[in-house]
Amino acid sequence: MTTTRSKRWNGKLDTLSTEFLNDVMAQMAAYGDRVQFALTTPGQRPNYQVWNSSDKKIAFDSNHHLLHPKEDEFEGVNATVIYSLDKIKDAKANIGKTSNVKRSVRNTAATIKATDMVDAAKYAYYKDNRQSLPAAIGDYSDEITTLMRNGMAADEAFGEVVKRHF
């Protein structure tokens, strides 16, 4: 029997409970259309911040109470990418649906470090250029990540997505 009671959240949306995601979506409906989760939170439910269309953020703890985040709690490798409301709805719909297909990619330290570097570079570029990027660029976060993992620099990946979709 596997228990997750004492484990820290692993950063995967499909491991969050339906109830937790319902509460996150309620906060998103009230405060903004995008959300980012902290990866440094102890426990199975992460702290998170909701972003509105003006890029203003409001943070909540894992119990959905207002939070004054630590200085670097939502910076670089300490946080997930920014998810749209649709992405959260999709994750909620897929909770409990596991695949019996074995993964061919091993999560070695090098793979994890490379993923963290891509996420950190993507976030740094977004943070430095968010004023000039389209408001809905967060909806294409996965596409940007894929382009960067295939060798594009952050500025090239963002430029390509803007060219394709805006």
The answer to whether 43 touches 9, Cβ cutoff 8 Å, is yes
Beta carbons within 10 angstroms of residue 160's beta carbon: 15
- The residues spanned by each domain of the chain are 13-93, 109-165
Task: Report the candidate in 23, 17, 36 with the shortest Cα–Cα distance to residue 77.
Answer: 36
Please give the pLDDT value at position 20: 93
Compute the chain's Rg from CA coordinates. Answer: 16
Q: Compute CA distances 25 → 38, 47, 50, 59, 86, whole Å.
A: 16, 14, 10, 14, 10
Q: Compute CA distances 126 → 12, 64, 76, 129, 137, whole Å.
A: 21, 26, 11, 5, 9
pLDDT, one tens digit for every residue, the chain (166 residues): 455 455 778 888 888 888 999 999 999 999 999 999 998 888 889 999 999 988 899 999 999 999 998 888 888 888 899 999 989 998 888 876 654 444 445 555 555 556 678 888 888 898 889 899 998 998 998 999 889 888 888 999 999 999 999 8
Please give the pLDDT value at position 101: 44
Give this prediction's pTM: 0.55
Please give the pLDDT value at position 118: 82
